[in-house]
Amino acid sequence: MLNISTEHKKEHLYLEVYHYYKKLIMENRLLPGSKMPSLRKCAQELKLSRTTIENAYLQLAADGYIIARAQSGYYVTDIARKQHPHALEKHPRNIIPCIYDFASSGVDRESFRFDLWQRYIKSALRQDERMLSYGEPQGEKDFREVLSDYIRERRNVICSPDDIVVGAGLQSLLQILCPLLRERKTVSFPTPSFIQGSTVFEDYGFDVHYRDKTCDVIYVSPAHMTKWGEIMPVKRRLELIRHAEANGHLIIEDDFENEFVYLQKPTPSLFGLSGGENVIYIGSFSRLLLPSIRVSFMVLPPSLRELYEKKAARYNQTASKAEQIALCQFIRDGHMLSQTRKLRRLYAQKLKALTAAVKNAFGKNCQIITGAAGTSLALTIPCSSTGEQLKKAARLQGLRLEILNETENDITLVLSCSSIPVNDFLPACQLLKSVADNL
């Protein structure tokens, strides 16, 4: 029997009715398909107003416990049988496990010192007082100071901490930047493959073009011009800057993978070369540390910084405060530099080993292109099937591939060395060869 204490406020009554029936239904004491008492009858029985009962029924219906049938009344649904409608979906159809992932954007599992990073996160979380408040919209002040020192030293980007805006990944930064560029309408990307970048610009109403020097905004990744790590030579950088200056264009320099340039010193940044007047510099640590750490930053030139400052307080910081604090101290203690050195050495060795493994597996029947940076090589092999067919056949054997290009007689793949251990290179390449041969 429903027990209603009269002390309760009116608003509570309907909830008590709601819970009473919900319980009956979920315990199968009211079976699926059975009719609920009419509003009038229920109200009489419980000595409550019809409105109260109606509110309870509406809520029960809204939550899927009962359903209204026109001209007839309310009926119990079969919700009790499928309380967790997604419980069955929890185990997706048998998916073939990926053994060798040549298409990975992850990092080498040996490369990251989890124990070290845990120590820094732990120490960040110990700063109780600081964790109790929202983060600074622009990013934590001490972190921006460390960043400004770091990029001056490493990338010749000279800026004040106040020019730096921190965000949870590139897109969060572009979502702050795009509204500041409202008089600009067109943006040029180097290739259509960088969907993440172009989507944000499209979302803000920009016309997206490719390799179009006449656009208002020129987006470039000079340290990652192609998937196999070609870098933009200084001469072309200077040309690009001069052309942009002469035409009043804005350059967005996405310095992706600049740290993986295997020359003695990375090529100077566009921001540094231009003096930072009409270049926005964007940096990130996802390939250097962990992709799952969502901390990126951009350096704004003076004109945009002024516009940003007016709006800064309107945006909440997206990057985790704990991760900012941890990263700040991690860089201060010199770990970013040693991590960079370590990864550069590691990936240079791995790319060399992968090249050797490909040659071993394919003999002279292939063409390999490597760049001066990055973690991938381009491999062209003879194949009369389509790239999609090759990709599917490989996937069935546990091999994940990225197709770059295809002609009637051959297919070009991008093979990333980052996620596969060195000892697996040869078996992986041999598997790829056998898949291609048996197509």
Total of chain residues touching its own copies, rule CB under 8 A: 92
Residues between 15 and 54 with contacts to its own copies, criterion CB under 8 A: 15
Report how many helices (DSSP H) and strands (DSSP E) the chain contains, helices first: 15, 15
Paired with 415 in beta bridges are 377
Contact 170, 196 (CB under 8 A): yes
Per-residue x/- track, 274-303, its own copies (CB under 8 A): xx----------x---xxxxx---------
Among 311, 341, 345, 359, binds its own copies (CB under 8 A): 311
Q: Residue 272 Cβ, how far from its own copies at the closest point, in Å? A: 5
Stretch of 55-63, 207-215, 244-252, 355-363 contacting its own copies, by CB under 8 A = 55-63
266 alpha carbon, distance to own chain's centre: 25
Question: Given candidates 64, 192, 382, 421, which one binds its own copies under the rule CB under 8 A?
Answer: 64
How is 200-227 classified by DSSP, letter by letter?
Answer: HHHHTTPEEEES-TTSSEEEE-TT-SST
Cα 141–Cα 142–Cα 148 angle in degrees, nearest 5? 90
CA–chain centroid gap for 309, Å, is 26
- Of 208 and 411, CB closest to its own copies: 208
Angle in degrees, 0-180, between the axes of helices 387-396 and 425-437, rounded to the nearest 10 = 120
The one-letter amino acid code at 70 reads A
Nearer to its own copies, 51 or 365 (CB): 51
Residues 198-237: x where in contact with its own copies by CB under 8 A, - otherwise, as a string: -x--xxxx---------------------------xx---
Task: Choose between 106 and 387: whose C-beta lies nearer to its own copies.
Answer: 106
Instruction: Report the nearest approach of its own copies to the CB of residue 364 (Å).
Output: 28
Do 157 and 358 touch, CB atoms closer than 8 A?
A: no
Q: Single out the residue of 24, 80, 168, 439 in contact with its own copies (rule: CB under 8 A).
A: 168
Binding pattern for the stretch 399-418 against its own copies, x by CB under 8 A and - elsewhere? --------------------
Question: d(Cα 249, Cα 244) in Å, to the nearest integer?
Answer: 5
Which is nearer to its own copies, 307 or 439 (by Cβ)? Answer: 307
Look-up of token digits 């009211």? 30
Give CA separation, 363 vs 245, 256, 354, 359, in Å.
48, 33, 13, 5
Contact region with its own copies (CB under 8 A), list: 25-33, 175-183, 348-356, 388-396:
175-183
- Binding letters toward its own copies, positions 83-112, x by CB under 8 A: -xxx--xx-------------xxxx-x--x
**What are the backbone dihedrals phi and psi of residue 286, each rounded to the nearest 5 degrees, phi first?**
-65, -35
